Structure 1
Amino acid sequence: MSGEAQVGIVLVSHSGPVAGAVADLARGLAAGGATAPVAAAGGTSAGGLGTSTDLISAAAAEVDRGAGVALLADLGSAVLTVKAMLAEGGELPEGARLVDAPFVEGAVAALVSASAGGDLDTVAAAATDAYGYHKM
């Protein structure tokens, strides 16, 4: 899909290793060809636990391919950080959207959908639908 607009995905976690591992897992499970761009934005700029607007902004710019950026967050303050960034404007690409989805299952579903060429609404719906995955 090079040259075509594509949805990018940013995984926002309180932990850099968690965000990176979920990105790796999603890439691995969505394999079978080229995947949509996905980036991890976990932890603080100093490597500690927390969230960093600088890391989130950089990750969003990295994956922005002109069709929007889906941001999935793990826990409360990560969600609040992304919401604040969206409300303030300027730090995230146009078309960036916080997606209410389970972090791991939603990341996989979002990446599969984006890799298949889904638009932002389709990618967000796929991620959100992951709430319905039952393990029993």
Structure 2
Amino acid sequence: MTEGLGLVGIVLVSHSEALAEGAADLVRQIAGGATVVPAGGAPDGGLGTSPDKIEAAIEDADAGSGVVLIPDLGSAVLSARSVLADLAGETTAQLVDAPFVEGAVAAAVAAGTGADLPAVIAAAEEARDAAKF
């Protein structure tokens, strides 16, 4: 970890507010010290993704060492990409192609150890190949 900076943050981008909040709660309980922020659901509380929620979650998760965004499904990727394009040069947040739950747990475990942004991204991506049995 870089001196004076906090841990890499994790943002879970989902179409469902309940799914994002539940996954974030699970990851926090498993991984401990990492900052995990949900960004789920449309502005009206229904299914969808909200660029405003994603941007706010990035701000909440950013402690200066970067932020990893893990999306659930297709349009969450598009919404996250749109937000990152709008924030170009203002954030070190990166969208990661990783399984939603397993990737979030792996990323948060790595972040909680003080790993840097590339190591946290690698941990999330490697979770794609982890067998469940």
Pair 1:106-2:103 in alignment: yes
Normalised by the length of structure 1, the TM-score is 0.90
Which whole-Å CA distance do the structure 1 matches of 2:61 and 2:108 have between them?
A: 12
Q: Give 1:89 shift.
A: 2.6
> 1:36 Cα deviation (Å)?
1.6
Name the residue aligned to 1:84. 82
Indicate the percent of aligned positions where both proteins have the same amino acid.
54
Stretches of 4+ aligned residues off by more than 4 angstroms = none
Gaps of 5+ in 1: none
Partner of 1:117: 114
Aligned pair count reads: 131
5+ residue gaps, structure 2, are none
Q: Deviations over 1:21-41 (max 9, x none)?
A: 11011111113xxx1211000
1:67 alignment partner, SS class: coil
SS at match of 1:56: helix
- 2:8 aligned partner: 7
TM-score normalised by the chain length of structure 2: 0.92
Give how far 1:42 is off. Answer: 0.3
Please name the residue that 1:43 is paired with.
41
